[in-house]
Structure 1
Amino acid sequence: MERNSTESSETSNQASSNEMQHETQQKITWGRLRGIVNKSLKLLDLNNEEFSVGRGRDNDLVLTLDELPKHSLILVSKVHFIIELANCDLKSPAYIQDASLNGTFVNREKIGQNKRRILNDGDVISLSQTADNKFEFMDFRLPAELAETYNEVSELGAGGFGLVRLVKDIRTGQQLAMKIVKKKKVSRRRRRAPEINEVNIMKNLTHPCVVRMHDAVENPKTVYILLEVMAGGDLLERIVSNTYLSEELSKLYFYQLCHAIKYLHDRNIIHRDLKLENILLETKDEETLLKVCDFGLSRVVRDGVILVYTKKVDIWSLGVVLYCCLSGSWPFGSINGSPFTDQIEKGEFTYDSPSWEEVSHDAKLLINEIFTVDPKNRPSIIDLLQNRWFCDAPMQLKAKRLMKLESVASEESVLPIQRWSV
């Protein structure tokens, strides 16, 4: 009797687990439509069994004169085409069904009314034979070689670059963040695509405050980058949820961030895209490890090469991050009166918001130094780490424990930055 009850409970739990897994899979974005000619047609994520396009109000994408000129719109049917993925099964093929009177075209070939065909990554869908209503289909499902190793768990984020999914390694059970990036055509001016650049830089990075890359897989159209999972979200989310951060917490975060940038600059790497969304937190705890991510725009400075940007661009970005942490607002913007670009060029900003009343004079002095317009006079990352604002032994010890760095001094003393093993 007890055994039967247990078996019944296990069966019920398994059924619930399967239902939850199915619901989770339905939420995963398995594809995307991108307007090719008409840029007003934004990126459209596909995460349901069906996605319809046409003039009718019940479509997922309703086409109007805002998206298409009149001469093109009159050729569009009430329901023009439907993209299908049966049961949102990520292992099933995606189909496109032609529901129009005038025809739907895939790679310039007409499908035929009420007929359907398999849709492949990179296929171009046209509502007619004209050139002002085309979409590119982007398939974000894992290829067979990756599906054999990783199970897709849920979606972590999406952006213009692609998607980030939570996946589980079937062999080890380890969860990883998989960044799925569609390759872009590389212009003559740009020697290497950003997604390949990111992989080449990250594969050599090992620091407690830099997101670790576990693996990267590339095929002709897509790059899959497997990263450690950061469960605490990004710094922008943390600031927004708290309005702004206390000076004590801002200092703890900024200290870790400066160590990450020092590590990069010591290796002649300029991040070039330091922003709140690219700074991740390990846990939901207030005092947590912070890590830098997203190296798609990063550059390695070669000896003898003259560049229009230097390591000082990262220093300026650090100033923006610190200002946002302490005030919950941006240092430069139209709300301050003069145009945004003029404020940056002149280094004009204020400490007007009420939150600044709680901030120390040393913190403001540090921000003033960082926002030095002439990069030659702007402090280096070593200058920042030696700033008197960081002469805070308790904060340094907290940071040391989070970063798991060895201490070389007692808790009673202020730890000289140069003596840390970073």
Structure 2
Amino acid sequence: MTGDATDGASCGKMRQQNNDSSVEISINSHSQIATQPFDDTGDEVATQSFQQKIWGQLYPHSGTFPRIELVGDSFKLGRAQSNDYVVQKTDMVNEKLFLAISKTQCEVFRNSDGVFLKDYSSNGTWLNGEKIGKNMVRPLDHDSEICFAGANKKVFVFRSMDAQKEVFPEELTKNYLVSKELGKGACGIVRLGFRTKDLHRVAIKIINKKQTKTAHTSSAAIMNEVNILRKVKHPCIINLEDVIDTKDYMYIVLELAEGGELFEKIIQKHKFNEKEAKLHFYQLASAIQYLHASNICHRDLKPENVLLCSIDDSKPVIKVTDMGLSKLVNLGNELKTFCGTPNYLAPEIIVMTARGGTYDYKVDCWSLGVILYILLSGTPPFTDERQCDKKLREQILTANFIFYPQLFNSVSKEAKDLITKLLKVRPEERLSADEILEHPWLQDQAMRTEAHALMKEQEVKSQADEREALRPLNPAVIQAIPMVNPSVTGQLKRMHVSAENSCQTPDKRLKTSENGDREN
């Protein structure tokens, strides 16, 4: 599992081979527009021989992996130098995941029957969440997701050039490539997207305006979410990156949280230990405190609406999302709308539907109490599945919940005290977001230091992404081109790198094994 030694580069390398020679090209992790190599002899035949049809592309979903254009009939990836692409530690983000990569991890190949993915790794290669198995082969379809080192470590999305092209408006496609579906909601479909100039990954929420006119979700509610997201800026709240509004569709471009839902993580782990729960909950409470200070009530807090930035459990950063039901409360406004998810509803919302009345920000604090109970136990405090004589509605209205010994014996009294003070029927007795952060359970200085460091790191990353979004498109790239003629190798004296409105040449390396020459 140690694999071959790598050369210490910060990104992987592409290698093209034939019987007599090879060309090895180190490539930038954000390869874009293809340019062709040329020689000094003026021999056009050499250049033309390289111009072969690209039949597929691997779009990066992790670390410093580049966009890989598939031209030959076979392409291998792994840690060994003999592969077409040599995986580096920065591609996999951390050393633990990198060490799970085999000398030869997998092979993408095509024949007359189609395109396939072969797994060579003992540790596994996953296709659309399913492990392939060593020396086994699976068909590779358009927009398929490839994972290394685990079912959740997404590394590439395969894009077939022969797939039927979907039509999107130019306002969207001039800046983004739209890829696979990530999920569906009441408001529309969410698709994976890539910002074309640097392959920055995003989530694109696609909303059909005509459908929203007949559905429960109105255009006004959609614009409410957009306006809320435009107003907020917090490292633990999903970032709005762009909005593209056309006649029939609205495209909301959001920060992509690659770790999935907190709900899925709870299912995977069954429950969090207290240290893990505290770190996650502190970030969540910090985000809600920020929203309330900005006069915003979320109104639909639940683990499904809390995302994780990455699959790296050692550095968890949460993101509050789905602001569709959030309300910007101006001075004098009252909250009267019945909304939210039943198991997380505060008592005053249920009472309001029967007797009228209003509620305030404290409904979010009740939901935080429910979420904390679930984090520590793996089960909800209020559910129709409980073995008691009260239905869900009555359980909530009376705050009827139990700290079951088999689930809470190892949980501290401070954690249970915080849950109890959040699940108070009377809002005036319930802790506010400010008071939550001052509770004794969250005064763990080591945890707070770690949480603030994670949030600061996320804030710096978001700022860098925003600067990159504003940077003019100025790509300087190299296309990895297969060797088709041994005589061509010696003619490759340099690579021509084209960058519109630029005279700078990026740091690229070309190695030719035929004569040992190397030019920078």
Q: Same fold (TM over 0.5)?
A: yes
The structure 2 residue matched to 1:207, chosen from 225, 231, 234, is 234
Cα separation, 2, equivalents of 1:314 and 1:182:
30
Cα 1:227–1:24 change in 2 (3 A) is: farther
The structure 1 residue matched to 2:169, chosen from 116, 122, 143, is 143
CA apart distance, 1:401: 1.1
Contact 1:209 1:289 (C-alpha < 8 Å) held by counterparts: yes
**Residue 296 of structure 1: aligned partner:** 324
Q: Does 1:372 align with 2:398?
A: no
CA apart distance, 1:16: 4.0
Structure 1's consecutive aligned runs of 4 or more residues displaced over 3 angstroms after TM superposition are 1-10, 12-28, 183-187, 189-192
**Residue 184 of structure 2: aligned partner:** 158
Equivalent residues in 2 for 1:33-52, closer than 5 Å: none
Contact 2:187 2:217 (C-alpha < 8 Å) held by counterparts: no
**Residue 254 of structure 1: aligned partner:** 281
Cα 1:25–1:169 change in 2 (3 A) is: same
Contact 1:185 1:193 (C-alpha < 8 Å) held by counterparts: no
The structure 2 residue matched to 1:313, chosen from 363, 369, 374, is 363
Equivalent residues in 2 for 1:19-418, closer than 5 Å: 19=115, 23-25=140-142, 89-91=164-166, 142-183=168-209, 184-185=211-212, 193-287=220-314, 288-307=316-335, 308-336=358-386, 337=388, 338-352=390-404, 354-404=406-456
Write out per-residue CA displacement over residues 113-151 of structure 1, whole angstroms, 9 at most, x where no aligned residue: xxxxxxxxxxxxxxxxxxxxxxxxxxxx63333123222
Greater Cα shift, 377-386 or 175-184: 175-184
CA apart distance, 1:186: 5.6
Contact 1:216 1:226 (C-alpha < 8 Å) held by counterparts: yes
Higher relative contact order (CA 8 A, sep 6+): 2
Write out per-residue CA displacement over residues 298-320 of structure 1, whole angstroms, 9 at most, x where no aligned residue: 10111112332311111011111
Paired amino acid for 2:291 = L
Contact 2:186 2:217 (C-alpha < 8 Å) held by counterparts: no
Cα 1:396–1:11 change in 2 (3 A) is: same
CA apart distance, 1:161: 2.8
1:225 match: secondary structure: strand
Contact 2:261 2:306 (C-alpha < 8 Å) held by counterparts: yes
CA apart distance, 1:212: 0.7
CA apart distance, 1:162: 2.0
Contact 1:182 1:223 (C-alpha < 8 Å) held by counterparts: yes
Paired amino acid for 2:453 = R
Write out per-residue CA displacement over residues 368-417 of structure 1, whole angstroms, 9 at most, x where no aligned residue: 110111112211101100000011111111101101189xxxxxxxxxxx
The alignment-based identity, stated in percent, is 35
CA apart distance, 1:4: 6.1
1:376 match: secondary structure: helix
Paired amino acid for 1:289 = V
Paired amino acid for 2:175 = T
Cα separation, 2, equivalents of 1:333 and 1:143:
45
Cα 1:331–1:272 change in 2 (3 A) is: same
Greater Cα shift, 244-253 or 331-340: 331-340
RMSD: 3.1
CA apart distance, 1:360: 0.6
CA apart distance, 1:257: 0.4
- Number of residue pairs matched by the alignment: 299
Cα separation, 1, equivalents of 2:116 and 2:180:
11
With the length of structure 1 as denominator, give the TM-score of the two structures.
Answer: 0.65
With the length of structure 2 as denominator, give the TM-score of the two structures.
Answer: 0.53
Contact 2:187 2:212 (C-alpha < 8 Å) held by counterparts: no
Cα separation, 1, equivalents of 2:140 and 2:174:
21
CA apart distance, 1:26: 5.6
Cα 1:306–1:149 change in 2 (3 A) is: closer
Contact 2:212 2:219 (C-alpha < 8 Å) held by counterparts: no
Write out per-residue CA displacement over residues 283-310 of structure 1, whole angstroms, 9 at most, x where no aligned residue: 1122311111111111011111233231
CA apart distance, 1:153: 3.0
**Residue 72 of structure 1: aligned partner:** none
